[in-house]
Amino acid sequence: QKEVEQNSGPLSVPEGAIASLNCTYSDRGSQSFFWYRQYSGKSPELIMSIYSNGDKEDGRFTAQLNKASQYVSLLIRDSQPSDSATYLCAAHLTNFGNEKLTFGTGTRLTIIP
Amino acid sequence: DGGITQSPKYLFRKEGQNVTLSCEQNLNHDAMYWYRQDPGQGLRLIYYSQIVNDFQKGDIAEGYSVSREKKESFPLTVTSAQKNPTAFYLCASSRNSGTGDQPQHFGDGTRLSIL
pLDDT tops 80 at residue A95: no
* Cβ-based contacts of B109 with chain A (< 8 Å): 42-43
* Cβ-based contacts of A46 with chain B (< 8 Å): 103-105
Residues contacting residue B68 through CB under 8 Å, at least 6 positions apart = B32, B49, B51, B52, B53, B54, B55, B74
Chain A's closest residue to B29, CA to CA, is A99
Say whether residue A94 is in contact with chain B using an 8 A CB cutoff: yes
Contact criterion met (CB < 8 Å) for B101 and A90 = no
Average pLDDT score, chain A: 92
pLDDT at position A5: 93
Strands (E), B4-115: 4-7, 10-13, 19-25, 31-37, 43-51, 54-57, 64-66, 76-78, 87-94, 105-106, 110-114
pLDDT at position B1: 63
Q: Which of residues 38-77 of A touch B (CB under 8 A)?
A: 42-46, 49, 51
Distance CA A32, CA B1 (A): 27
Torsion, Cα of A103, B83, B32, A31 (10° steps): 20
Say whether residue A104 is in contact with chain B using an 8 A CB cutoff: yes
Residues contacting residue B32 through CB under 8 Å, at least 6 positions apart = B23, B25, B48, B49, B68, B74, B91, B92, B93
Which neighbouring-strand residues pair with A65? Answer: A54, A72
Q: Which helix (H) or strand (E) holds A33?
A: strand A32-38
pLDDT tops 80 at residue B97: no
Which band of pLDDT confidence, cut at 50, 70 and 90, is reported for residue A39?
very high
CB A63 within 8 A of CB A73: yes
pLDDT tops 80 at residue B25: yes
- Give the CA angle between residues B105, B100, B54 to the nearest 5°: 75
pLDDT at position B40: 78
Q: In terms of Cα–Cα distance, which of A18, A21, A37 is closest to A78?
A: A18
pLDDT tops 80 at residue B15: yes
Selected for mutation to probe chain B from A32, A100, A102, A108 (highest B CB count within 10 Å) is A100
Say whether residue A2 is in contact with chain B using an 8 A CB cutoff: no
From B107's Cα to the closest Cα of chain A, the distance in A is: 7
Contact criterion met (CB < 8 Å) for A92 and B101 = yes
Contact criterion met (CB < 8 Å) for A98 and B56 = yes
pLDDT at position A29: 84
CB B96 within 8 A of CB B102: yes
Residues contacting residue B39 through CB under 8 Å, at least 6 positions apart = none
Average pLDDT score, chain B: 93
CB A46 within 8 A of CB A34: yes
